[in-house]
Amino acid sequence: MTGTGLTAEAPKPVEPAVLGDVPGWFWDLDRHAFDWFLDRQEITGLTGDLLELGAYLGRSAIVLGRHLRDGEKFTVCDLFDSDAPDEENAAEMVMSYRRTLTREAFETNYLAFHDELPTLIQAPTSVLADGRIKAGSCRFVHVDASHLYEHVAGDIQVARAALKPQGVLVLDDYRSAHTPGVAAATWEAVFNHGLRPICLTECKFYGTWGDPEPLQRELLRSSGGADGCHVSTDTIAGQRVLRLGGGPNRSPDFPVSRHHDRIAEQAELLAAEDAAERAAQDLADRRAAAAAARRPATVARKAALDLLPPVFVGALRRARRQD
Ligand SMILES: C[S@@+](CC[C@H](N)C(=O)[O-])C[C@H]1O[C@@H](n2cnc3c(N)ncnc32)[C@H](O)[C@@H]1O
């Protein structure tokens, strides 16, 4: 194991008031896509567990957790503040998550929105290859841990074993300039391991080892499932791939956290204290100005003479005598 030193100066976790207060890389279009795929599974009666590899401070996990239904299990695997399994992974951790990532911070964020934590596995995702996620148990897997080729290729195999036939796999950063390893692992899975693309967003690849057609048909029919989204069609080596773009005009508001009202009250109090301080200062300034204006000219003149250097005072007096 290779130390990351991530917690050396980790700040105390700050409770979030709204989902947007949770740092992370999970934007509106993908939040909409997650909701769309998971709602669709509910509509079509597909049940099963949820799995996320790579959660950081919980932004996407909090959204996933909202779709958990009775009898289903949500598992999150992340290194959090423990050591990475190799030098390259350790360098990636230090570069991207230094000083911000602790398991405690993840738990604080998650519990602000949910009553119970998911099952947490604080370890490299490679430990999941031992079959601890029941084969064929999951309906949705989000792979967003290490972005290095060897890790992602392994994570895809873990997801493949974990997923139900019609389950959905989401791969983060499959096309970013700084993550060529994810691109390589993604398209390798498509061309060599039977993964079938459903749709692509700017940040994520959505695919299945089942039949992508019913989901693609529904996405096309509903123009991406939200006002402001659009869908276009591509073909890659004979396989249809949809591109989901635009921005949902308004991602449905995520419920506020359990701390929202207290945080809002504190913010109001602080703003009121601030305003009162500014008003008091303003009043004091105006009183001082009024007092100065009322002061008799002789007093003001004496004060000025007291302040001027003696050489100027002598010159002034001589000048006035000559007048
Ligand atoms: C890009 S972040 C995840 C972002 C998160 N899904 C979100 O929406 O904000 C990647 C996460 O993967 C974790 N990670 C990196 N390498 C890992 C590994 N080998 N095993 C497990 N987790 C890893 C990091 O600790 C980090 O929390």
Residue 99 alpha carbon to ligand 1 centre in Å: 14
Element (H, E) at 48: none
Element (H, E) at 126: none
Residue 226 alpha carbon to ligand 1 centre in Å: 29
Q: Determine phi and psi for 83, rounding to 5 degrees.
A: -70, 145
Q: What is the pLDDT of residue 1?
A: 46
Q: Whose CA is nearest to atom 23 of ligand 1?
A: 145
Residue 6 alpha carbon to ligand 1 centre in Å: 13
Q: What is the pLDDT of residue 89?
A: 96
CA distance 207 to 212: 7
Residue 85 alpha carbon to ligand 1 centre in Å: 13
Q: Whose CA is nearest to atom 8 of ligand 1?
A: 60
> 138-143 and 196-200 as β-strands: parallel, antiparallel, unpaired?
unpaired
Q: What is the rounded end-to-end Cα distance, in angstroms, of the chain? A: 93
The CATH number of the domain covering residues in 19-246: 3.40.50.150
Using alpha carbons, list the distances in angstroms from residue 315 to 154, 299, 300, 312.
91, 20, 19, 5
User: Domain boundaries in the chain?
Assistant: 19-246, 260-322
Ligand 1 nearest atom to the CA of residue 57, by list position: 9
Residue 192 alpha carbon to ligand 1 centre in Å: 25
Q: Whose CA is nearest to atom 6 of ligand 1?
A: 55
CB-based contact 21:58 (threshold 8 Å): no
Q: What is the pLDDT of residue 190?
A: 98
Q: What is the pLDDT of residue 313?
A: 60
Instruction: Give ligand 1 pocket residues (Cβ under 6 A).
Output: 24-26, 54-56, 59-60, 77-79, 84-85, 89, 93, 97, 101, 124-125, 144-146, 151
Q: Whose CA is nearest to atom 2 of ligand 1?
A: 56
pLDDT averaged over 10-residue windows placed end to end, the chain, 323 residues: 54 91 96 97 98 98 98 98 95 87 97 98 98 97 98 98 98 97 98 98 98 98 95 97 91 88 91 92 92 71 65 64 60
Q: At what angle do helices 149-162 and 180-192 cross, to 10 degrees?
A: 40
Q: Whose CA is nearest to atom 9 of ligand 1?
A: 24
Buried b (16+ CB within 10 A) or exposed e, 144-158: bbbbbbebbbbbbeb
The pTM of this model reads 0.85
CB-based contact 231:224 (threshold 8 Å): yes
| Ligand 1 probe mutation, 97, 110, 170, 179, most atoms within 8 A of CB | 97
Strand partners, 236: 239
CA distance 14 to 221: 42
CB-based contact 102:9 (threshold 8 Å): no
Residue 96 alpha carbon to ligand 1 centre in Å: 9
Q: Whose CA is nearest to atom 27 of ligand 1?
A: 56
| Ligand 1 probe mutation, 25, 29, 52, 56, most atoms within 8 A of CB | 56
Q: At what angle do helices 213-221 and 28-43 cross, to 10 degrees?
A: 120
Q: What is the pLDDT of residue 112?
A: 98
Using alpha carbons, list the distances in angstroms from residue 160 to 2, 144, 151, 281, 303.
28, 15, 14, 66, 87
Coil, helix or strand for 79? coil
DSSP secondary structure string, 228-297? TEEEEEEEETTEEEEEEEE--SSPPPPPPPTTHHHHHHHHHHHHHHHHHHHHHHHHHHHHHHHHHHHS-H
CB-based contact 43:15 (threshold 8 Å): no
Q: What is the pLDDT of residue 304?
A: 60
Q: Which residues touch 243 (CB under 8 Å, ≥6 apart)?
A: 199, 200, 201, 231, 232, 233, 234
